[in-house]
Amino acid sequence: MSSKIELPSAHKGSLSAVARSIEDSLNDIAVRLQLKYSNTNLRKVEPSFSDAERTLILETVEEIRRTLINFIEVFDIQPFSVTESQIIQAQYTHISSLLQDSYSGKMKGYGKIPAKDAILLDKQVALLAAKVENLRKVISPTVRE
């Protein structure tokens, strides 16, 4: 184990964000390669690697992870704590915002949409928004309308 290095708080904060981002990316790579298939409707991920290549990539990811752990220890980077609720609230807010900007009246700069299509679009967006609002009610039952 290397000795710890004390950096100014701004540098330490920046390196903490970098380390978290690297760790998140390593986790995403590992999950993606372990799935071997796409489980989404709008993004089809085609397998690109043989089983041997997957194994090598996953071993390399683990090597990077071990090096990252040393990096975290050397610069005394402390874990960042977040609750599931905070993560899900942030995702809810993101989805809700995307939908609010998807109503026909908000889609300026994309050209004119025929009125009948705008009505259909707005109905479909409203349906999705209502389902997302149900999510909010589940995750934040104390928040009232």
pLDDT tens digits for 99-117? 999 999 999 888 899 999 9
pLDDT, position 35: 79
Cβ(16)–Cβ(77) under 8 Å?
yes
Query: If pLDDT is split at 50, 70 and 90, which confidence band does 144 have?
Result: very low
Note if the pTM is more than 0.85.
no
Give the domain range for residue 112. 84-139
For residue 141, report the phi and psi dihedrals to the nearest 5 degrees: -65, -20
Number of domains in the chain: 2
User: What does the alpha-carbon distance between residue 50 and residue 54 come to, in Å, rounded to a whole number?
Assistant: 6
Position 48 in a domain: yes
- Does 89 lie in the same domain as 68? no
Match 């796409």 to its residue by tokens.
38
Q: Return the exposure string of 53-74: e unless at least 16 CB atoms fall within 10 Å of the residue's CB, then b.
A: ebeeeeeebeeeeeebeeebee
Position 54 in a domain: yes
SS3 (DSSP) at 35: helix
To the nearest 10 degrees (0 to 180), the angle between helices 115-139 and 84-100 is 170
- Does 106 lie in the same domain as 64? no
